[in-house]
Amino acid sequence: MDADEFYRHARTDRTGPLHGVRVLDVTKVWSGPMAACVLADLGAEVIRVEMPGNREGTLPPHIPGTSLSWFRETVHRNKRSVGLDLRVPEARPVFRKLVATADVVLENYKPGTLDAWGVGYAACREVRADLVFVSISGWGQYGPDADRAGYDPITQAASGWMSLNGDADGGPVRAPTFLADDLAGLHGALGALAALRHRDSTGEGQHVDVSMLDSLLFQSSGFLTLGATGATPRRWGNETDFAVPAGLFRCADTDIYLVITLNKHWRQFAEVIGRPELARAAGYATNEDRREHRDKVNAVVSEWCARHPARYVVDTLRAAGLIAERVRTFGEVAADAHVRARDMLVDTELCTGERAPLTGPAVKFSGTPTGVRSAAPRPGADTGEVLRGIGLSDREQDRLRERRAI
């Protein structure tokens, strides 16, 4: 199937499957903005409520060839921006007017912060009873640690995840991406969608509570259950407990990752490397054998890989129906024809008039295609337009500016 065939029934009159849903993005840093980014990519109208002093646009590195930070451009595309300081009392009635027009409010402040400002769930629910109000935080809205601040690497450490990441004989290592933030963002978006489905069938809104800790534990492959029952997993580095061989192997020029999980694949591998006698040999024939003789099996794989360039190894194994891949840099991945064909990089005009290839949405919809419709706006760029849309005249807006509310 090619792209034209996949999208043959695509509509051009909608922004995506969430066309017509309005989301207020009252978030900071990454977990909340990511949840709002997912909903925006899916076609929702996302209005970002920007606080003064927002430094997201200045965080290094800047996208080469532009004056803008990778941070803001990545996570705030497909949104509009309103400059509204919820700490100022005069801003709060304006926010509540926006809430009256919204389907979803997304926030990721420390629990109790928005309540203290008079714009928490209880206050917003008075304005719109069927509102879906999504709160993302480090530790959740209740529980002994609910009032703690949360950051991505702290969550990785607290969850047990970091204890398993890194070389088997080394120390714990954090993920290079914002893993806990990203997962909480995805669960926040998923929670919003589930709550919207419930609202559409019952008319009932609700408060959705997403914890970074809970999200990372949920996505930890059941290791929490093992920990609770005394079977605490060990750190394996690039290998796995359940399949051998599986790991990083050095070729003549660079590294590949290779994994063999089925016994029939081991037999194919033995033929490919010219060692057919190992197909059913003691210590090699079954995965249980190979797990017991891990070092011996890995030595066979290592010896063969070391004699050949990575491209040869990968192509030879792939031709035999086996799974291996060269370890690539993000720069190499960005040049990959498959990545380009999947629209995972979208050439986009930024708010400065500069251009950059922004990462595209992951999920593809044949009937309601999604994409990068617009770059991240300048903070507050849409304040006037959005507030006029809820009935605030230019004179009223001027008075709010005098009070530094907007």
- Using DSSP, state whether 150 is helix, strand or coil: coil
Catalytic-role residue among 181, 182, 214, 289: 181
Distant-in-sequence, close-in-space partners of 62: CB < 8 Å, separation ≥ 6: 68, 69, 70
* Buried-exposed string 8-34: b where 16+ CB fall within 10 A, e elsewhere: eeeeeebbbbbeebbbbbbbbbbbbbb
Q: Give the start-end residues of each E strand in 28-181.
A: 45-50, 79-83, 104-107, 132-137
- Encoding tokens for residue 151? 């950051």
Q: What are phi and psi of 389, to 5 degrees?
A: -65, -20
Active site residue 200: no
CA–CA distance, 133 with 126 (Å, rounded to integer): 12
CA–CA distance, 58 with 63 (Å, rounded to integer): 11
How wide is the angle at C-alpha 61 spanned by C-alphas 59 and 62, nearest 5°?
A: 90
CB neighbours of residue 109 within 10 Å? 20
Query: How many whole angstroms from its chain centre is CA 18?
Result: 18
How wide is the angle at C-alpha 51 spanned by C-alphas 48 and 57, nearest 5°?
A: 75
How wide is the angle at C-alpha 298 spanned by C-alphas 234 and 227, nearest 5°?
A: 10
As annotated, the active-site residues are 181
